[in-house]
Amino acid sequence: MAVKLLLIALLSLASCSAILASDPSPLQDFCVADLHSKVFVNGFPCKNANDVRAEDFFRSGLDRPGDTNNYLRSNVTPVNVNQIPGLNTLGISLVRIDYGPNGLNPPHTHPRATEVLAVLEGELYVGFVTSNLNGGGNRLFTKNLRKGDVFVFPQGLIHFQFNRGKTNAIAFAGLSSQNPGVITIANAVFGSRPPISDDVLAKAFQVDKNLVDWLQAQFWTDNNY
């Protein structure tokens, strides 16, 4: 009996953890985010329903390409709760990604969302890396995508897209969070403020501290606008 009760408790805890780990579920038709509220909650407080307008569910401009005139030759245009307040509590968002020739959306993660990417124009080399395996190491999954192809990046895993072609590429991606977040690996590790100790990074990457210092002195391009 004690074992059964423990098992039930563990299953209940796992279920509760899974529920709490996702975006808050809506308890009414909508909860348009009050982006100017001074109340701090997990997500955003609701705007008074009497003040909600159609514009709270609307965004234009995704027909226009993003500016890829940067070192990475790519541009991510987000459409999340910060751009469309009506997405609050709905657990979904969108991005448009533009890639110039040899454009890269560098290795990054979305801590709060799974991503489904669809290629509209051009070709992309994409992939993601698993978390640490029990036997050691990490497994890489890659695919060459063409117009009309779709690929999934599981939540929290490091992934990337690279335009190997000589023409522009366009992709749209849906994400399973109103605010998926993004951590660009190189920027976070070498461009944080204040910087991570070069002793820590030199040991972690097994390189000389002078190389770490040089990397930390570089300008790390952010292609998310």
CA 20 distance to own-chain centroid: 19
Tokens of 57: 């569910």
Give the strand pairing for 140-145 and 124-129. Answer: antiparallel
Q: What is the DSSP letter of 175?
A: E
Annotated binding-site residue numbers for Mn(2+): 108, 110, 115, 159
Annotated binding-site residue numbers: 105, 108, 110, 115, 159
Q: What share of the chain is helix, strand, coil (3-state, %, to 5)?
A: 25, 25, 50
Distance CA 124, CA 143 (A): 8
Name the amino acid, one letter, at 13.
L
Annotated binding-site residue numbers for oxalate: 105, 110, 115
The answer to whether 156 touches 193, Cβ cutoff 8 Å, is: no
The answer to whether 84 touches 179, Cβ cutoff 8 Å, is: no
